Amino acid sequence: MRILDCDYLVIGAGLAGLSAAMELAPHGQVILCTKRDLGESNSSHAQGGIAVPMARNDTIEAHLRDTIEAGAGLTHADVAREIIAAGAARIATLESWGVRFERKPAKSRSDHSPYDLGREGGHSARRILHSGDFTGAAIIRVMARRVRAQPNIQILENHMAIDLITTGWLKIPGENSCAGAYFLEQISGEILAVRAPRTILATGGAGKVYLYTSNPDIATGDGMAMAWRAGLEIRNMEFVQFHPTCLYHPEAKSFLISEAVRGEGARLLDHAGKLFMKRYDPRAELAPRDIVARAIDHEMKTHGIPCVYLDITHRGEEFLRQRFPNIYATCQRFGFDMARQPIPVVPAEHYFCGGVSADIHGRTEMEGLYAVGEVTCTGLHGANRLASNSLLEALVCGHQAARHILEQPRPKKRRIRIPAWKIGHAVPSDEAVVVAHNWNEVRTVMWDYVGIVRTNRRLTRALRRIHNLRQEIRTYYRDYLVTSDLLELRNIAAVAELVIRSAMLRRESRGLHYTLDYPEPVPSMCRDTVIHDLPGGGSI
């Protein structure tokens, strides 16, 4: 088994991982591992933009108030304030690297901001910096190019992390710490290890745990599952954000219709062409995502309809083509002209507010292990993420984690012996259909029983089925050689159990967690949900 050594191991190549790698590169050897091509990440699919108070009539405190209100009592105000306050400096860095955000003509800068700032649900002001309607792709393209040019960064594409390597697992005396990770090289099937005194988890979210999601196929909760198996604390996994408006079409794969479309005046219509959002919230279409998603879900179930409709025809073709070129073209490709007809939309899983417990500097409870981005729970999002705060968190915390690492004394060099990967009696699988079936069953169970609206009975049923599936997966994992499909199945099943257990612990409705058995918030439950198991990932 090959063992690679470096000063800093970064697992994941979204905005958080790339930010950290760029900051660390001048100070030591970085190995950046990504399970697909560099640049393919959840971040690259982000349409809306980055929320930063840049206009003169906007403030950090106003942005903070909106974040806290959306977070339904669980936002950590000190964390949120620090992340929001750091945003402008990080935007300046991106621009110095070549990222271009949309700007307004000088004559129309009524708020004294040069930027064409968007507005999204839950925001009291226009503060969304964007690059057309494919902001994430524009940022990642620039950053990936710069990362490739760094001589101190070794990029390992198509390398999927299997598990963290810890000194506790190696039975080395002293405080448990992270020594690196095992990886599967997906093209050759080779198992290798990367050894590093500092490891950063930046593996993103877990959208593929659900049957319908706006996330790309890579979002399988790998970092969350690995951290849980390593015995780390996991927080607030019941808070799963469903984006209210994904394009409803059998071939669209839940293509996201950005919240910015509603920010520019789009209205939601029911099957009869009538407005309905005012019945659910006075902010109507600009209410936070949890409210809008539940409203759409209720309309669909009440009337037995497959979707609702988003209407922005009043803005006209010229505006829509310029403001939303990617969305406009994609809708046209599927037969919808958003300038002339309302487009069909449905909710789909979008973002995890919970994850590995970490602070703004990415520190976890394990020495040598940092975590940044959607894989974490920093306290910024609370019970519901405010739109466009995700790229902000990834950008700021990726940078902050790297700075914290560099400010610490360099660890004493010691070459920890990492055992070769044990194959045992495992053989190549001739039962790929089993993996495919279990993959679909996990996702269907989560969609049907642990979705936008929950009940005790549904959660109990889901936990029982996921528990059985995890036992089957463990047996399969032991008997057959690992593949990326098997590793991802193992991870989505682990994350599914974490979501269900967290949801069962919260006997109230708050933010993104809504249960018919406890439809109101309970003041005594205004606290984080914590799961902290022994290494191994629960009882399975």
**Which one of the listed residues 90, 119, 198, 289 is annotated catalytic?**
289
Segments of 65-148 assigned E as strands? 128-129
Structural tokens at position 280: 């659910």
Q: What is the gyration radius of the CA atoms in the chain, in angstroms?
A: 22
**Interatomic CA distance for residues 492 and 219, integer angstroms:** 9
DSSP letter string, 263-300? HTT-EEE-TTS-B-GGGT-TTGGGS-HHHHHHHHHHHH
Of the chain, the percentage scoring pLDDT greater than 70 comes to: 98
Asked if residue 539 has pLDDT above 70, the reply is no
pTM beyond cutoff 0.85: yes
Give the model's pLDDT for residue 411: 80
What are the pLDDT digits (tens) for 170-221? 999 999 999 999 999 999 999 999 999 999 999 999 999 999 899 999 999 9
What are the pLDDT digits (tens) for 317-365? 999 999 999 999 999 999 999 999 999 999 999 999 999 999 999 999 9
507 is catalytic: no
C-beta separation of 467 from 540 below 8 A: yes
Give the model's pLDDT for residue 230: 97
**Interatomic CA distance for residues 106 and 133, integer angstroms:** 22
Structural tokens at position 220: 């399988």
Give the model's pLDDT for residue 111: 63
Residues of the chain with CATH 3.90.700.10: 241-349
What are the pLDDT digits (tens) for 442-468? 999 999 999 999 999 999 999 999 999
Alpha carbon separation from 331 to 80, 132, 256, 324 (Å, rounded): 35, 16, 10, 11
**To which H or E segment does residue 147 belong?**
helix 135-148
The mean pLDDT value of the chain amounts to 94
User: 153: which residues sit within 8 A by CB, 6+ positions away?
Assistant: 21, 25, 30, 31, 32, 147
Q: Which CATH number fits domain 432-521: 2.40.30.10, 3.40.30.10, 3.40.718.10, 1.20.58.100?
A: 1.20.58.100
Residues of the chain with CATH 1.20.58.100: 432-521
Give the model's pLDDT for residue 46: 83
Asked if residue 242 has pLDDT above 90, the reply is yes
**What is the third-level CATH fold of 241-349?**
Flavocytochrome C3; Chain A, domain 1 (3.90.700)
